[in-house]
Amino acid sequence: MFRPRLLLTVLALAVASATFLAVGTAAQTETVLHAFQSSSSTDGAYPSCNLVADPKGALYGATSSGGLHGYGNVYKLSPPTEEGGAWTETVLYSFMGGADSGNPTPIVLDEKNGKIYGGTACSCGSGVYELTPPAHSGSPWTESVIYSSTVGVTDLISNTKGGFYGSTLTGGTQGGGSVFLLTQSGGVWSAQTLFSFTTLLNKTIYPGGLTLGPKGILYGVTGYGGGQAYQGTVWSLTPPSGGRTTWTKSTVFAFPRNESVGGFPMGNLTFDSSGNIYGTTFLNGGVYQLVPPAAPGGSYTANLLYTFQFGSDGGQPTAGVIFDSTGALYGTTTIGGDLSCGYFGAEVGCGTVFKLIPPSAQGQPWTEETLHAFNGGTDGINADAYFGASLLLLNGNFYDTTAIGGDPDVCVDSGNGNTGCGTVYEVTP
């Protein structure tokens, strides 16, 4: 089965010998809204994508495995009708691993018609699917594949015009992954490849973290490559104009080998009102800012806002950050925090939810607060369940998933001692 944390489990060993430092935490409340059960039940296992919300505050997501057939499912969590009550999970669809594909990754909710769109990364077949709600309550949702791909779709976002932008980690005309546009005409969906990344030989691969920026420009990251440093890039794709028929790809920033701002960027990018770009890096884990050039043709300036100490503050973020109304940034880390979690004997921590507070004066450092340190028990383990899935801010509270943890009696991994099929959680200020 597809395990979204397999890569993390291997890479986490690199920090096993790191020195863990103590960092202050803020008093917040973490609540598990749902603990996934097992791959042998109708419930899913191992959350694999971002959470989205409908206007009524219900949450939607997907799991990479579990469900009726073991290939994952799409679920809905409805808020309680009374204060203090339990959230209710409803499995909307269980993938069968056949013509419908399986191992779902990102999802998009169309609030106008209630349909859900998402990508899949199954070896049984991949692509983009559409889930249509039933005409009558209690009837099953209808799944249809609207785009078939020979490689897994790892990101999907709306293009605001009824279509979608997507990315693949491999494939394309050069084998290094691709970015595509999916549009509908007369009820028929068609895909256009906007850009194909180069092969491993040329070292610019693994596109992801799609974000639609100002002026309709599409932005993203590559987890590897960029000049001679090979530490990853932030890139942009500009739509055709002035008689051009093709999209123009540009490298916004190539992370340097000296690790001054980290490396191996992961997760979605975030923009502020001035056009500055914010993101996270896995290598030398930190949060960075890219300031656009003052004049056309100039270079972006990179600023490192915070470097995680691999202590109670966390380490190795793989998801993006989001803003609140005060200009503070929020995100999650895969390790650090409580050291009760380990991998193959290495105590690396269970992950954190963090807040970065901007300085009161320009040039001063940002201040980090750990909002919650996962303890490896029922509260979950590894706050970044899917590479690219940022926290969801809804009515002043934060929502996300953990890759594992939750119910200790299911999804037992004897290889590293961690248990649980993952959780959906809420952090309340």
Give tens-digit pLDDT for 22-57.
344 455 799 999 999 976 678 999 998 889 999 999
What does the pLDDT read at residue 401? 94
The tokens describing 81, both together, are 């009708």
Contact (CB, 8 A) for 88 and 115: no
Band (199; pLDDT cuts 50, 70, 90): low
At 1 the pLDDT is: 36
Lowest-pLDDT range of 198-212, 309-323, 394-408: 198-212
Class of domain 6-428: mainly beta
Structure token digits, residue 175 = 């084998």
Q: Model confidence at 417, in pLDDT bands (50, 70, 90)?
A: low
Q: What are phi and psi of 7, to 5 degrees?
A: -65, -40
What's residue 9's pLDDT? 35
The band of 257, judged by pLDDT with boundaries at 50, 70 and 90, is confident
Residues above pLDDT 70, as percent of the chain: 87
Q: For residue range 201-214, what is the model confidence (pLDDT) as tens digits?
A: 555 667 888 999 99
pLDDT at 21: 37
Whole-number Cα distances in Å, 213 to 27, 145, 157, 276: 34, 28, 12, 10
The tokens of 57 are what?
Answer: 């505050």
Residue 355 has a pLDDT of: 97
Q: How confident is the model at residue 416 (pLDDT cuts 50, 70, 90)?
A: low
Closest CA to 125 of 146, 95, 100: 100
What is the value of pTM for the model shown? 0.91
User: In which band, very low, low, confident or very high, does the pLDDT at 132 lie, cut at 50, 70 and 90?
Assistant: very high
Q: What is the mean pLDDT of the chain?
A: 87
Instruction: Give the pLDDT confidence score for residue 356 in this predicted structure.
Output: 97
What is the bridge-based pairing of β-strands 104-109 and 88-94? Answer: unpaired
**Edge-to-edge strands of the sheet including 116-122?**
104-109, 116-122, 125-132, 142-149
Residues 219-245, mean pLDDT to the nearest whole number: 86
Please list the residues that pair with 52 across neighbouring strands.
60
The least confident of 123-132, 187-196, 299-308, 378-387 is 378-387
The whole-number average pLDDT for the span 111-134 is: 94
- How many other CB atoms sit within 10 Å of the CB of residue 19? 7
Give yes or no for a contact between 302 and 288, defined as CB atoms under 8 angstroms apart. Answer: yes
Is a pLDDT exceeding 50 seen at residue 11? no
In this predicted model, what pLDDT tens digit does every residue of 335-362 receive, in sequence order?
999 887 766 556 788 999 999 999 999 8
